[in-house]
Amino acid sequence: MTIPHLTGVHPAWLPPEAFVAIGSRRTLIVADESVPAGTVRAEVADACARHGGALVAPGEAADLVLALTSAEPLPPAARAVAGPELGAEGFLLARRDGVTVVLADDPAGLLYGFFEVVRQGEAAFGAPRPAEPYRPALRRRMLDHWDNIDVHPVMGQVERGYSGGSIFWRDGVLREDLSRVRVYARLLAATGINAVGINNVNVHASEARLLTDRLAEVAEIAAEFRPYGIRVHLSVNFASPVALGGLDTADPLDERVREWWARTTDRVYAAIPDFGGFVVKADSEGQPGPFAYGRSHADGANVLADALAPHGGVVHWRAFVYNHRQDWRDRSTDRARAAHDHFAPLDGEFRDNAILQVKHGPLDFQTREPVSPVIGAMPGTRLAVELQVTQEYTGQQRHVCYLAPMWSEVLGFRFWGPDGRAVADVTTSGGLVAVSNVGDDPYWTGHPLAQANLYAFGRLAWQPSLGPAAILDEWIGLTFPGDGEALRDTLHELMDDSWRTYERYTAPLGVCFMVRPGHHYGPDVDGYEYTQWGTYHFADRDGIGVDRTRATGTGYTGQYPAPWSEVYESLAECPDELLLFFHHVPYGHVLHSGTTVVQHIYDTHFAGAGQAAAMRARWAELDGSKTVGAALHARVSELLDEQVRSAEEWRDQVNTYFLRKSGVPDVHGRRIY
């Protein structure tokens, strides 16, 4: 195997410099050639060829030893630090007597250990340190691509994609040169990702056929991911037995349907023995599902789970099910309730290899939502939390919006109070999934700084307790090696708080949406107010917000266990940032912060737009920096111009809207239109 190095594509967090520490040393690898151990050998050989080091044989002096615990005999340096079981994908890192040791129980652990040494660079070869075990907190760490084969007339090729076309398909066919996919796999493995869904959850006609007569394309893509320990998953159409199999039903309890799924799945595994499984969006936004046959979502998921079980595969069944044809006049239907209403009663009915994939919030990847109550309501079900690395509602990769702080809050949320388990603990057997932000753009993610979100997602999925600023620091060090403190400081200043900055100039206090319908970019306060989508803010001359209390509203607060059912119910206790998600309040309502709701709206919108302008000014000072390079600097500068423009548009539309509705002037007399 050779390590691909692309020209014309940004190296992201694996530039050649990232391999200097390893590549300039003498490394002993004690493992067979099985995948991905063979990859580690190829990586080290490639790094040594570039930086002057060497792979050495057992018995020769080495600076770095990478070994499987099953190796016989274990080299002395490894034997000296070997300890308790490390488990699947885990590894141990130690430094003793001038030798750095990585030990793993399986080849995947060796791969992750190798990339940990890459991440630490010279520091991995410094002072002695005791053996430290590293284990992934979550079993499945997955990115979902919403890629289509064809260009969809409304959504484009990548649904909610802001980085160009698909890296898999072009002009309706699989790309001939898939080396970019291999490089992508390498980047993902370096963050800890071990699964990728390759196609859109809205499965259109051509993409449905990836399951059957276009399966060879999936096999080719899987071959690119395999060396880096990543299994490929496929989004499938629940009605495939009808659409592809010629049956007159897709009823999950019909024997012919069960057989069709079993047979079809057998063929998938014959072509791709390490295939990961299926992803399904059913009975959601027009996709077919079990409701058509009067069956439950557990029935639907289980027929696929049973087909996958003999092969060790899993089905990711999405909980994003709600009425998308609501009448805005109907105040009794609350979209936020839908997933819990549908799924919580089914707890315990899903097969063990069915994973319920739940969006982190009850609505739809908004800048600020409470954590979905489904995650705390299904102890008898394997749960995965779904995030959006792609910035559909958070600036569409035109705005700097570092999302790790939001994800950390979600993963650290404790449904049962400070002594209870966190979201990250509830999802250990299911995992963490996110919609990818990658396309065929030379920077991978459109906005070069959006690479940090992709990096951070993988790192948090591996270890949810990592701090967002520390992850960003790693990313900066790897991506811009040798650029020194000035760049590091600038990027922290731009990015650490950028999610909250974005929140300040967009929809206030957890009220959600207020975006342009359809494409979801830019402000439109009433854009969704009279639509079918169930996303309303109910602003009138007196106040704003959605009453989701049990006492007087939709009762959504009752989907949480105590203490949150009480905290969210209570106007006095509800956190400011979620106030309008849970309560309808007058504009003069005083927040915990001491200011009124309407004054808070004015203040945060002026502040947020001001911060965007400050970010641009700060970035401009960097001109001429050596590793950032002129092209990347120019791309970010252009995007910051757009961010500033858009933030001002948000500020002025939101502030003007509320001034006109409420008639309450800004106490500081600033310009509102």
| E strand or H helix at 468 | helix 468-479
Q: How many residues does the chain have?
A: 673
**Cβ pair 118, 19 in contact under 8 A:** yes
Q: Which is nearer to ligand GCU, 320 or 619 (CB)?
A: 320
Q: Which is nearer to ligand GCU, 356 or 585 (CB)?
A: 356
* Both structure tokens of 408: 């950390």
* Both structure tokens of 241: 């037995």
Least distance to ligand GCU from the beta carbon of 160, Å? 5
> In 63-159, which ranges are E strands?
64-68, 91-96, 99-104, 129-134, 141-144, 147-152, 156-158
Q: Which is nearer to ligand GCU, 350 or 528 (CB)?
A: 528
Residue numbers at the binding site for ligand GCU (CB under 6 A): 159-160, 201-202, 281, 285, 320, 364, 392
Least distance to ligand GCU from the beta carbon of 415, Å? 23
Least distance to ligand GCU from the beta carbon of 196, Å? 17
Told to judge if 330 belongs to the known catalytic residues of this protein, a careful annotator would answer: no
Least distance to ligand GCU from the beta carbon of 516, Å? 12
Rounded distance, CA 360 to CA 146, Å?
18
Rounded distance, CA 358 to CA 78, Å?
42
Q: Which is nearer to ligand GCU, 281 or 447 (CB)?
A: 281
Q: Which is nearer to ligand GCU, 222 or 234 (CB)?
A: 234
Least distance to ligand GCU from the beta carbon of 388, Å? 8
Catalytically annotated residue among 369, 392, 474, 483:
392
Least distance to ligand GCU from the beta carbon of 661, Å? 27
Rounded distance, CA 463 to CA 385, Å?
14
Q: Which is nearer to ligand GCU, 520 or 635 (CB)?
A: 520
Catalytically annotated residue among 60, 248, 285, 621:
285
Least distance to ligand GCU from the beta carbon of 647, Å? 22
* Both structure tokens of 456: 């951070």
Rounded distance, CA 379 to CA 576, Å?
30
* Both structure tokens of 608: 């947020």
Told to judge if 566 belongs to the known catalytic residues of this protein, a careful annotator would answer: no
> How far, CA to CA in Å, does 581 sit from each of 279, 510, 574?
30, 5, 10
Q: Which is nearer to ligand GCU, 201 or 356 (CB)?
A: 201
Rounded distance, CA 38 to CA 35, Å?
5
Q: Which is nearer to ligand GCU, 159 or 474 (CB)?
A: 159
> How far, CA to CA in Å, does 492 sit from each of 242, 402, 472, 482, 618?
52, 10, 8, 16, 11
Told to judge if 285 belongs to the known catalytic residues of this protein, a careful annotator would answer: yes
DSSP string, 149-194: EEEETTTEEETT--SSS-SSEETTEE-S--HHHHHHHHHHHHHT--
Least distance to ligand GCU from the beta carbon of 189, Å? 26
466: left (phi over 0), alpha (psi -120 to 50) or beta: beta
Q: What own/partner pairs with CB < 8 Å and gap ≥ 24 does 590-598 have?
A: 596/664, 597/508, 597/509, 597/543, 597/544, 598/658, 598/662, 598/664
**Cβ pair 646, 399 in contact under 8 A:** yes
* Both structure tokens of 600: 């808070």
Give catalytic residues, as residue numbers: 285, 364, 392
